[in-house]
Amino acid sequence: MADRTEQQPARRRSRRGQGDQLREEVLTAVNRLLDDWGSDEKLTMRAVATEVGVTPASIYLHFADKTELVWAALADKYRQLADQMGAADTAVAREGPRERLRAQVHAYCRFAMDNPGHYRLMYEIRQPTVERERMGLHPARQVSARLRRALAACADAGFPLSLPLYQATHTLWTGLHGLVSVQHSLAIDGSPDQLAGMADGLVDIVVSPQHRNGPAYPPETDVDRYIAATVIEDG
């Protein structure tokens, strides 16, 4: 890796219409630096500007601060994951809600195994710390929202949740991440299908496989309210 502190040649002033190109170059550089460094600690607007070969002022024309910069760099990856989960859901639209939830969970596992570099940037590096209110804008909300809506559909169809909705969503999401992270960090030789099979057990933990009459949503708890107020969520 080249020395990131080495001054690179200044770029000529962009011609009209080249702003989008510069923005893409900046986002590519952010992904590269995050991958090299493993966290956002050394990432600054100046470091990114040096990497691209522009002035820091050029970066601020597109991004207000480091948080906005990092989130923009990762947004496409979260969108790709959410889109693949949505496509998996649509593919089994004629099935019941538990099958649709399982399809989304399997898509999550396949994405993580097929794109380990992307997944690492999305979930396994430290990102900027922000205030609670701003976390609601994090691009990962697209993923948590899909899981939450799928769980709600199960409960509405008479398959009780074992935990209140937001807590069930967070438990399923973090459980999936745990399975993926162990697979990645220990370099376990397994296929996405094997990982998806293990993930089915998580689904059975948070959603009953048996249809029942009566309340399907457990009462809210302090933990559920805390998660609803702080966890990334797309209302």
Check residue 189 and give its pLDDT. Answer: 66
Q: In percent, how much of the chain has pLDDT > 70?
A: 85
Q: In percent, how much of the chain has pLDDT > 90?
A: 46
Tokens of 219: 């009462």
The overall average pLDDT reported for the chain is: 84
Mutual orientation of helices 165-185 and 141-156 as an angle, nearest 10°? 130
Check residue 145 and give its pLDDT. Answer: 92
Q: Which residues contact 219 (CB under 8 A, 6 or more apart)?
A: 164
Which is more confidently placed, 162 or 232? 162
Q: By the 8 A CB rule, do 216 and 124 touch? A: no
Residue 140 has pLDDT above 80, yes or no: yes
Average pLDDT over residues 38-64: 87
Q: By the 8 A CB rule, do 148 and 166 touch? A: yes
Of 30-34, 166-170, 183-187, the range with the lowest mean pLDDT is 183-187
Of 10-19, 52-61, 178-187, 204-213, the range with the lowest mean pLDDT is 10-19
pLDDT band for position 227 (cuts 50, 70, 90): confident
pLDDT band for position 203 (cuts 50, 70, 90): very high
Residue 50 has pLDDT above 80, yes or no: yes
Check residue 188 and give its pLDDT. Answer: 67
CATH assignment, 76-230? 1.10.357.10
Average pLDDT over residues 106-132: 83
Helices then strands, counting H and E runs in the chain, come out as 11, 0
Residue 5 has pLDDT above 70, yes or no: no
